[in-house]
């Protein structure tokens, strides 16, 4: 699909009482309904790396931002009378700009709990190894890395090489889209372990990806950052 279709795909909302969902204007849905995704990444203001995952669901013939919307609103300090614009940039990304009731654009200052430049997760990782060595050796090139499934706990979490996470901006993401060679996609949470800063895919989302792709011991996965679609990793899978 041509990127030109997204050129004018935008709408605005005047914030009132915050709730767990936000309606997308009916006229916008009528005009752009075919390109509105079921899941999206909300990117705040001019920030190219921090994002929030939301679902877009229908109810009573209307579309709403749902799961994840309230978290986005709270994290970014949305308040009554804020003027907010939403621009659909591609098949998975919505860029959000927030203006206060004084007409001035708000900076991306109200962010989730952090340690340094890392998002903090309340859930822990099972480390890939206990030898203390860096996993940067798994980096194939600047925008790719490869993992061979050689430990059973890979089914429950997968650590991302720190070098790759920093170079691509994944280190600051809350979730990311994994797309396999058949074009099927999975949203997975990205977490940072508080005690050593390791970044990785966690628990239920990653396990669903594992099971849907029938991964097993010896499977080789190459993850490639897709610069055309912010927040997406292309996954090439070679099974044993």
Closest residue by Cα to residue 118 from 213, 49, 211: 49
Residue 105 lies in a domain: no
What's the pLDDT at 230? 66
Residues 185 and 230 occupy one common structural domain: yes
Residues 151 and 228 occupy one common structural domain: yes
Residue 208 lies in a domain: yes
Looking at 72, 99, 126, the residue that finishes a domain is: 99
Residues 131 and 199 occupy one common structural domain: yes
101-115, 147-161, 178-192: which is most confident: 178-192
Residue 193 lies in a domain: yes
* pLDDT above 50 for 128: no
Give the phi and the psi of residue 129 in degrees, each rounded to 5. Answer: -155, 165
Residues 73 and 141 occupy one common structural domain: no
Residues 137 and 226 occupy one common structural domain: yes
45-49 average pLDDT score: 58
In angstroms, the CA 140 to CA 145 distance is 5
- The band of 132, judged by pLDDT with boundaries at 50, 70 and 90, is very low
Residues 138 and 23 occupy one common structural domain: no
Q: SS3 for 169?
A: coil
Residues 87 and 135 occupy one common structural domain: no
Structural domain range at position 201: 114-238
Residues 229 and 129 occupy one common structural domain: yes
* pLDDT above 50 for 208: yes
CATH number (domain holding residue 133): 2.40.330.10
Q: HSE (CB half, 13 Å, CA atoms) of 237?
A: 22
């Amino acid at each position: 699909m041509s990127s030109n279709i997204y050129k004018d795909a935008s709408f605005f909302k005047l914030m009132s009482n915050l709730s767990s969902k936000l309606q997308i204007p009916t006229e916008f849905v009528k005009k752009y309904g075919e390109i509105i995704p079921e899941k999206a990444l909300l990117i705040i203001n001019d920030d190219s790396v921090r994002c929030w995952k939301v679902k877009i669901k229908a109810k009573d013939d209307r579309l709403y931002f749902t799961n994840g919307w309230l978290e986005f609103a709270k994290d970014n300090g949305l308040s009554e009378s804020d003027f907010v614009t939403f621009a659909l940039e591609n098949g998975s990304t919505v860029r959000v700009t927030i203006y206060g009731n004084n007409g001035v654009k708000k900076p991306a200052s109200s962010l989730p709990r952090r340690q340094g430049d890392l998002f903090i997760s309340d859930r822990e990782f099972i480390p890939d190894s206990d030898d203390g060595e860096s996993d940067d050796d798994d980096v194939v090139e600047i925008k790719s890395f490869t993992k061979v499934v050689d430990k059973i706990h890979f089914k429950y979490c997968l650590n991302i090489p720190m070098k790759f996470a920093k170079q691509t901006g994944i280190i600051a993401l809350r979730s990311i889209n994994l797309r396999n060679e058949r074009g099927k996609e999975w949203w997975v949470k990205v977490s940072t372990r508080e005690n050593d800063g390791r970044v990785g895919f966690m628990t239920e989302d990653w396990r669903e990806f594992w099971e849907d792709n029938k991964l097993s011991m010896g499977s080789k996965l190459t993850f490639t950052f897709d610069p055309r679609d912010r927040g997406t990793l292309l996954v090439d899978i070679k099974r044993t």
